[in-house]
Amino acid sequence: MLWKTAALIAAAVLTCGAAPAPKAPTAKPAAAKASPKPAPAAAKPAPPGFVDARDPASMIAILAAAGARGEIAHREADAVFLTVASATVSFTAQFAGCDAQGRKCAVVLFDNQNAGASPTLNQINAFNQTSATCRAYQDKGGKAHVLYSTLLFASDSSERVTQELAAWRGCLTEFAGFTKDPVAYLAEAP
């Protein structure tokens, strides 16, 4: 199980890279007539693959492209909460450290409650020792949750966000295997 997490991290590290630099504008031949008024500066286009991952609306669009439905559930001071549903799983995403408009958030935390299983607190602690990126906890009602969080940057690419979502899916898969049979899962864990 730890090797799966390590493989996900290695794949993400190897494939993460800076967004491609925007192409330099090409020089245009001088116009025959001089314009009395300079043209307004055009807005700088975003580099290919760019997405403002700090904006929850961007995450909703990426999730929609992947076949999931995300919507803003509510907002609090500097946080925006999404509910997400797909054909296979439902979860929440909490954006935190956001500006007053609910954008430019600093971090996102994905959370999934496994309604069907209730591993013991000792088993949950043991799971946490087998995973480098996924964390499990038990809520006040005794239900097991798995979570994954990541920092968000203005320079994020859609590829990086997709990689973070793949890591989250890896957490969901590992946690499902754990909650199905905690004893067997932990017996096979390194």
Domain boundaries, the chain: 2-14+49-188
Percent of the chain with pLDDT over 70: 73
pTM above 0.85, yes or no: no
Task: Look up tokens 């580099």; give the residue.
Answer: 47
What is the model's pLDDT at position 43?
A: 37
Architecture of the domain spanning 2-14+49-188:
2-Layer Sandwich (3.30)
Give per-residue pLDDT as tens, 83-125: 999 988 999 999 999 999 999 999 999 999 986 778 999 999 9
Q: Is the pLDDT of residue 180 over 70?
A: yes
Calpha distance 165→125 (Å, rounded): 24
CB atoms within 10 A of CB 83: 14
- Contact between 19 and 47 under an 8 Å Cβ cutoff? The reply is yes
Calpha distance 97→106 (Å, rounded): 5
